[in-house]
Structure 1
Amino acid sequence: MPNTDVISFSRGAPSLDIVDTEGLKAAAVAALDADPARVTGYGTSVGYPLLREWIAAKHNVAIENVLVTNGSMQADAFLFDELVAPGSPVIVERPTYDRTLLGLRNRRGELHPVTIQADGLNVDELEGILKGGVRPTLAHIIPNFQNPAGVTLSGDKRRRLLALADEYDFMIFEDDPYYDIRFRGEQLPTMLSQTDLSKGASGRVAYACSFSKTVCPGLRTGYLVGPADLIKKIATAATNTYIAPNMFAQATIYQFAASGALDKSIATVKGALEERVDQLSASLRAHLPGAEFVVPDGGYFLWVDLGEGVDCAKVAAAAADEGVQVVKGTDFVIEGGESCLRLAYSAVHADRIDEGVRRLAKAVEATRA
Structure 2
Amino acid sequence: MADTISFSRGAPSADIVDIEGLKQAAIEAFEQDPAGVAGYGTSIGYVPLRRWIAEKHGVPEDHVLVTNGSMQADAFLFDELVAAGDAVVTERPTYDRTLLGLKERGADVHLIGLQEDGIDVDELRAALEGGLRPKLAHVIPNFQNPGGSTLSLEKRRALLALAAEHSFVIFEDDPYVDVRFTGESLPRMLELQPGGQAATDGPVVYACSFSKTVCPGVRVGYLVGPPALIAKIARRATNTYIAPSQVAQAIVHRFVSGDRFPTALQTVKDALAERSSTLADALRTHLPEATFVQPEGGYFLWVSLPEGEGHDCARIADEAAARGVQIVKGTDFLLEGGESAFRLAYSAVTADKVDEGVRRLAEAVAAAKA
TM-score w.r.t. structure 1 length?
Answer: 0.98
After TM superposition, give the deviation of residue 4 of structure 1 in Å: 4.3
What SS does structure 1 have at the residue aligned with 2:179? coil
What is the distance in 2 between the residues matched to 1:289 and 1:199? 48
Does 1:343 pair with 2:344? yes
Residue of structure 1 in register with 2:299 after alignment: 300
What SS does structure 2 have at the residue aligned with 1:286? helix
The residue correspondences of 1:273-352 to structure 2 (distance < 5 A) are 273-308=272-307, 309-352=310-353
**What are the Cα deviations for residues 266-286 of structure 1, in whole angstroms up to 9, with x where unaligned?**
101000000001000000000
What is the distance in 1 between the residues matched to 2:317 and 2:172? 31
- Sequence identity, in percent? 64
The residue correspondences of 1:97-116 to structure 2 (distance < 5 A) are 97-116=95-114
Residue of structure 1 in register with 2:248 after alignment: 249
After TM superposition, give the deviation of residue 221 of structure 1 in Å: 0.3
What SS does structure 2 have at the residue aligned with 1:172? strand
Do 2:58 and 2:198's aligned partners in 1 also have CA atoms closer than 8 Å? no
Residue of structure 1 in register with 2:141 after alignment: 143
State the Cα RMSD in Å: 0.8
Matched pairs, number? 366
Residue of structure 2 in register with 1:83 after alignment: 81
Amino acid at match of 2:6: S
Runs of 4+ deviating beyond 6 Å? none
What is the distance in 2 between the residues matched to 1:61 and 1:194? 14
Structure 2: runs of 5+ lacking an equivalent: none
What is the distance in 2 between the residues matched to 1:165 and 1:269? 35
What is the distance in 1 between the residues matched to 2:261 and 2:209? 13
What SS does structure 1 have at the residue aligned with 2:49? helix
Amino acid at match of 1:342: R
The residue correspondences of 1:162-201 to structure 2 (distance < 5 A) are 162-195=160-193, 196=195, 199-200=199-200
**What are the Cα deviations for residues 296-347 of structure 1, in whole angstroms up to 9, with x where unaligned?**
0100000000222211100000000000000000000011110001000000
What is the distance in 1 between the residues matched to 2:103 and 2:121? 23
What is the distance in 1 between the residues matched to 2:40 and 2:2? 44
Amino acid at match of 2:224: V
Residue of structure 2 in register with 1:227 after alignment: 226
What SS does structure 1 have at the residue aligned with 2:368? helix
What is the distance in 1 between the residues matched to 2:262 and 2:102? 34
What is the distance in 1 between the residues matched to 2:217 and 2:153? 33
Structure 1: runs of 5+ lacking an equivalent: none
What is the distance in 2 between the residues matched to 1:108 and 1:74? 18
The residue correspondences of 1:154-165 to structure 2 (distance < 5 A) are 154-165=152-163
Amino acid at match of 1:295: Q
TM-score w.r.t. structure 2 length?
Answer: 0.98
What SS does structure 1 have at the residue aligned with 2:40? coil
What SS does structure 1 have at the residue aligned with 2:303? strand
After TM superposition, give the deviation of residue 198 of structure 1 in Å: 5.1
Question: Structure 1 pair 199/56, CA: closer, same or farther in 2 (3 Å)?
Answer: closer
After TM superposition, give the deviation of residue 264 of structure 1 in Å: 1.6
After TM superposition, give the deviation of residue 199 of structure 1 in Å: 4.6
After TM superposition, give the deviation of residue 194 of structure 1 in Å: 1.3
Residue of structure 1 in register with 2:358 after alignment: 357
After TM superposition, give the deviation of residue 225 of structure 1 in Å: 0.4
